[in-house]
Amino acid sequence: MHLRSLVELATDLQAGTCSSEELTRACLARIERLDERLNAFITVTGEQALAAARAADARIRAGQAGPLTGIPFAHKDIFCTRGVKTSCGSRMLDNFPAPYDATVTHKLREAGAVMVGKTNMDEFAMGSSNETSFYGPVKNPWDETRVPGGSSGGSAAAVAARLVPVSTGTDTGGSIRQPAALCGVTGLKPTYGRVSRYGMIAFASSLDQGGPFARSARDAALLLAAMAGFDGRDSTSVQRPVEDYPAMLEAPLQGLKIGLPREYFSTGLDAGVGAAIEAALQEYSRLGAQLVEITLPNTHLAVPAYYVVAPAECSSNLSRFDGVRFGYRAANPKDLADLYTRSRGEGFGPEVKRRILIGTYALSAGYYDAYYLKAQQVRRLIREDFLRAFELVDVIMGPTAPTTAFRLGEKADDPVSMYLSDIYTIAANLAGLPAMSLPAGFVDGLPVGLHVIGDYFTEGRLLNVGHRYQQVTDWHTRCPQGYE
């Protein structure tokens, strides 16, 4: 049962081959048996999941089911879920049961999906390896001595290990796509504003975006269709109709123009990863696509610009965690200043503190123009690079990450090296573009991800491009040894 895709499981549920309760019990049993090896879950919601599964079975019997009704999924622990601990992987929120549902949580509940738990993540989504979590690092199911990527590493690992068929994640600078690549699953970051951020605890408000993890583009299309849409409670949500993503999957790729930025195939790219990406591009050529060399000249500025903008926004967003209203509170404070200082000092981990300090410095008087304003100007140049490119091509492709999964602890003391793990993904967030990672091969037994970037609100096209590739390859069907 755990080896079947979301689409196959939905067919089984409709046909009565299995019930949602049976499927949910099977997922919970696998989590109980296998997650000790991975640490992918922070919270498992067994009783709530079984109650939701029984309700889903009733909907199916009544003929009121949709494509996600009765399907178990895992929720990144950054989406508020009423009555369930929502920790953001931080000691700061270790005791915080959310008093309301995020819009994405509400939409998936309305669709009949069954949440089996909340997944582990880098603290407040700050990290590229899932090693900054208060609850300990997540392990990569392909090699448990290696990282799964971050910050949504728990969600990616849970899908890769077949603990759940699909999961949710968030992406601020690559936090869906990079772990998808390192764990060998499909992950999509939608256009900024396509998925509501209401109830999604903020890291960097102008960059964060929720999206799906799945084994295939077809499964991701079904999950995204339920997650996407306008939300009046989110001022950044875009009032634009949601396309019928599943209906767009089968469109032919004949004549598709694929842009290959020369900047994505230069120094720093592992030779084995580069060879796997080249093989994937040749597969697209056989499917009728045309490969076009392009340039994105400001690509080299993406990482430095991001690491000014994102910390600046996080320093503002995380100022609300003061030990007064909710979250961690230091014991026996001497006065208000001591309460603030110790609550934040004890509640936040080293990476979060580092980014708060950088961001506060960049926003301070005398440095705002030199750093934050300049980074926003660079951001505009990066966006204009993409707009010019999309006048020539339909999608842009390259590697998702420069290497395969690195070893746990390998980059823990070298934050700059860690930040460069997102060198190919960050620009799409700065520009607000949709992008996805597809499984595209292996190097020494570790997955490689193909990165596909589209123009604004072309998620349907990206899913179509991914699906057609997955019809002629089997990388997305591979399962890590020991999790079959």
Residue type, position 139, single letter: K
Dist CA 146 CA 148 (whole Å): 7
Q: Where are the alpha helices (DSSP H) in 255-335?
A: 271-286, 302-317
Q: Please tell me the distance from the alpha carbon of residue 279 to that of residue 440, in angstroms, as a whole number.
A: 8
Which residue type occupies 123?
Answer: E
Give CA–CA dist 23/9, Å, rounded. Answer: 9
Q: Among 250, 218, 192, which Cα is nearest to 457's? A: 192
Q: Which residue has the tokens 């999957």?
A: 249
Structure tokens at 76: 């990144």
Q: In 27-38, which positions are buried (b, 16+ CB within 10 angstroms) versus exposed (e)?
A: bbebbeebbeeb
Q: Which residues are known catalytic residues?
A: 76, 151, 175
The C-alpha atoms of residue 416 and residue 328 are separated, in whole angstroms, by 29
Collect all residues with Cβ–Cβ distance below 8 Å to 94 and sequence separation of at least 6.
85, 87, 134, 328
Upper half-sphere CA count for residue 266 (Cβ side, 13 Å): 11
Per DSSP, 241 falls in state P
Q: Do residues 78 and 200 make contact, with C-beta atoms less than 8 angstroms apart?
A: yes
Name, in order, each residue with C-beta under 8 angstroms of 265's C-beta and a sequence gap of 6 or more. 274, 277, 398
d(CA 257, CA 396): 9
Which residues make Cβ contacts (< 8 Å) with residue 243, sequence separation at least 6? 459, 460
Please, are residues 401 and 149 in contact by the beta-carbon 8 Å criterion? yes
Identity of residue 482:
G
